Amino acid sequence: MEVTAGTAEIRQLHSHLNGLSRFCGNLLPAAFEKALRSVLSHLENTTQNENPGSSPSGAASGAVLHYLELRGLLVEFGLLEVLDPERPMLEFLLDRLLADDHLFLRRCARRPLDEIDPGLTTLMRADLHALQGIATCRLGAWIAELTGLDPGNPLTLRLPERHPAPSWDLSAPRESLKAKFRESKDWSDLVRPLAEFVFIHGVGKYQGTPCYRLVEHSGTTELNPIDRFSDF
């Protein structure tokens, strides 16, 4: 990556972060956004201060350290088993989007898209465009190319044993919608499939889940989805 091109891409990512509306407040955890902005700040300093072939500076080392922190947060918040080494934020942000409580999504949970205020739909399209710029950026590649340092293999997490999926489990429809986003060149075009998903399955992180039971599993207390109402 050319330094000037890298600087332009970093500034574009800053623009996407600043372009998200206030209704995206739950999409990016505060610690995650802080770590991401720290990575970008150090990368900008790297592009301004480094000469080709020079030894890595403090800015480059700082970028890698904050990037490692960011990857740890992606694993912690997203419960991801593995991160894409080039686009580490993609799966995390797709999961956050589908479970978000954006005002547009809250409205779509109660009525079809065609009955939603057009201005709110326009706002959601803009947020989807900005979110795509964040989710699909080649942050892992930038770190390697601009700092010359190897951040190591992506972090992995050993997830707890999963319970059998209940009959109303949303894994299949959620994965189908995520696949559309992965393949799309313009996420703002997917406002209707997203609205239809929420209208059918509900909004927020407990969408599609009528109720839970508090149980103890492997030495920890957790919520166990109830499949049959006769189990009450």
> Over the stretch 129-173, which tens digit does the pLDDT of each residue have?
999 999 999 998 888 888 887 776 655 545 455 555 545 568 889
214, part of any domain? no
pLDDT above 50: residue 185: yes
pLDDT at 39: 94
Instruction: Compute the distance between CA of residue 209 and CA of residue 225 in angstroms, rounded to an integer.
Output: 7
218, part of any domain? no
222, part of any domain? no
Cβ 202 vs Cβ 208: under 8 Å: yes
Instruction: Compute the distance between CA of residue 69 and CA of residue 32 in angstroms, rounded to an integer.
Output: 9
pLDDT above 50: residue 16: yes
Residue range 51-61: mean pLDDT, rounded: 65
Give the chain's mean pLDDT: 83
213, part of any domain? no
> What percent of the chain has a predicted confidence (pLDDT) above 70?
77
Domain housing 63: 3-207
pLDDT digits (tens, 9 = 90+) for 191-226: 999 999 999 988 887 676 656 678 887 777 776 766
pLDDT above 60: residue 46: yes
Q: Where are the alpha helices (DSSP H) in 52-190?
A: 58-78, 90-98, 103-108, 118-135, 139-147, 171-183
**Top-confidence range, 35-49, 72-86, 198-212:** 35-49
pLDDT at 170: 80
90, part of any domain? yes
pLDDT top residue among 225 and 114? 114
97, part of any domain? yes
109, part of any domain? yes
pLDDT top residue among 229 and 115? 115
158, part of any domain? yes
pLDDT at 52: 46
Cβ 87 vs Cβ 140: under 8 Å: yes
Give the count of domains, the chain: 1
Instruction: Compute the distance between CA of residue 11 and CA of residue 144 in angstroms, rounded to an integer.
Output: 18
Cβ neighbours for 189, distance < 8 A, ≥ 6 positions apart: none
pLDDT at 189: 98
Instruction: Compute the distance between CA of residue 82 and CA of residue 92 in angstroms, rounded to an integer.
Output: 11
